[in-house]
Structure formats: C-alpha cells, structure tokens
Amino acid sequence: MKVPSIYGSSAALLLCSLAFLAACGGSSEEDGRMLVDGIGQKETLNKVGSYDIEITGARNEVQISAGNTVRNLLVTGLHNTIRVNKTATVLNIDLTGTGNTVYIPLGLQAKITKSGSNNDVIEVE
C-alpha cells in the first residue's frame, strides 16, 4: 500500500507561495506618499510637488527623477538601492534594516538617520 506524501505537496505549495510573493509589490500612492514594496522591484519615481517616499521589502531598486522634491525618504528592509538624480532634492533620509544604500548627488544637504546594520548614504558626482 502506497502512503501519499504530504512533503511533496507542502514543498510545491511553499514554492508557489514564494513565487507569488516575489511577483507582488510595486509602487502606489497613499496620502501624498509614494510607497514601493515587494521583492526585486525596479521603480522610477517622478512626481510634481514635494512628497514622501517609503520603501520596504528586499532588493528593490528605486530611482528618484530629476527635479523631484522628497521631504522624507524612509527605507526599511534588506538590500534596497535608491539613486537620487543630480537635480532632485531630499530633505530627510531615514535608513533602517540591513544593507540599504542611498546614492545622493555630491553636496546634497539632507538630515540622515541610520539604524540597523550596513546602511549607507554615498555621495556621487
């Protein structure tokens, strides 16, 4: 008599769930705040007027377009990369989590708060 294996179906369900989570996410706007969440999202944010950005999840790549004014940039999660265009302005940067990196234009004056580990703000020309 063959006994059905629950491990095979459990493993398949787990893989399907992980694939679904990886495909979820993206960007949206809520109360004047741009939200980017998920795993491995690639987003370019471009909005008229000043606004806030919140980035959560893992391995997301976000570009802040030229001429944008960001009041607060909150980055949480793991290994997110944010690039601020040379003519964009960011007033406050708050990094939590692990391995998040924000590349800002040389000379950009922003208040920077970091917690967690291996979070960096790097100036580039």
The CATH class of 26-124 is: mainly beta
On the question of pLDDT at 116 being above 50, the answer is: yes
On the question of pLDDT at 4 being above 70, the answer is: no
CA distances to 20, 52, 57, 58, 112 from 72, rounded to whole Å, are 30, 5, 18, 19, 10
Check residue 14 and give its pLDDT. 38
Express as a percent the part of the chain with pLDDT over 90: 72
Give pLDDT tens digits for 8-62: 544 444 344 444 444 456 766 767 799 999 999 999 999 999 999 999 999 999 9
Q: What is the DSSP letter of 117?
A: B
On the question of pLDDT at 71 being above 50, the answer is: yes
d(CA 114, CA 31): 25
CA distances to 5, 23, 56 from 10, rounded to whole Å, are 9, 20, 28
Check residue 2 and give its pLDDT. 56
On the question of pLDDT at 124 being above 50, the answer is: yes
Check residue 43 and give its pLDDT. 97
On the question of pLDDT at 81 being above 90, the answer is: yes
CA angle, 32 then 57 then 87, to 5°: 50
On the question of pLDDT at 109 being above 70, the answer is: yes
Express as a percent the part of the chain with pLDDT over 70: 78
Check residue 61 and give its pLDDT. 98
**Count of CA atoms in the C-beta half-sphere (13 A) of 63:** 9
Length of the chain: 125
Cβ–Cβ < 8 Å for 118, 98: yes
